[in-house]
């Protein structure tokens, strides 16, 4: 039990330090302002896709908005794969993660909403600045530093929507 407690304490310390760093750069302030999305929310969930080797796209998990909280679950198929590592912020593949605030894994993908170019993009795409999930899909894009992509999902088929839809 002692080792588990120490590991959890280290994880909490890291997340608090990461949160302080994001706040000092102005990112958390914008993400927190975007949190209350109640009646403006259009997306119920988004998928987290890992760009695998050789162009493979692996649906890792789903981020959902449930009332005033967020929920993240891994896809069942990910648990059976030996070639895929869990997202560091969500280390347990068989656990449902719930939180009142969006995790830094997601908020760090949002640019500051005060930037003029970001405001113009939001307006041009018709995105509500209060819809966090829609902002993540529209503004997070791909990154050289991260192999993950966030996309809309079709709730019926539980598959990502085709690109360009």
Tokens of 134: 């829609």
Helix 132-139 × helix 116-125 angle, to 10°: 110
Q: What is the mean pLDDT of residues 138-153?
A: 81
pLDDT at 66 over 60: yes
pLDDT at 57 over 80: yes
Cβ–Cβ < 8 Å for 148, 58 = no
59-84 core/surface letters (b: 16 or more CB in 10 A; e: else) = bbbbbbbeeeebebbbbeebeeeeeb
Higher pLDDT, 125 or 37: 125
Tokens of 60: 């890792």
E strands, the chain, are: 45-51, 57-66, 69-74, 97-99, 148-154, 159-160
Cβ–Cβ < 8 Å for 115, 139 = no
pLDDT tens across 2-39, in order? 555 566 556 656 666 666 665 555 554 444 444 444 33
pLDDT tens across 72-97, in order? 999 998 888 888 899 999 999 999 99
Q: Which residues pair with 133 in a beta bridge?
A: none
Chain CA centroid to CA 142, Å: 13
């Amino acid at each position: 039990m002692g080792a588990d407690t120490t590991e959890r304490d280290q994880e909490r310390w890291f997340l608090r330090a990461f949160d302080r760093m994001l706040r000092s750069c102005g990112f958390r302030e914008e993400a927190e302002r975007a949190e209350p999305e109640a009646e403006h929310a259009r997306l119920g969930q988004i998928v987290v896709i890992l760009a695998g080797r050789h162009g493979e796209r692996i649906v890792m998990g789903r981020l959902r908005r449930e009332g005033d909280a967020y929920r993240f679950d891994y896809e069942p198929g990910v648990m059976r794969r030996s070639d895929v590592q869990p997202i560091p912020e969500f280390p347990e593949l068989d656990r449902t993660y719930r939180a009142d605030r969006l995790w830094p894994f997601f908020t760090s993908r949002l640019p500051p909403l005060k930037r003029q170019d970001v405001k113009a993009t939001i307006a041009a795409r018709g995105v509500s600045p209060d819809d966090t999930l829609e902002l993540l899909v529209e503004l997070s894009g791909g990154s050289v530093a991260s192999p993950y992509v966030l996309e809309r999902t079709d709730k019926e088929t539980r598959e990502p929507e085709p690109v360009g839809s």
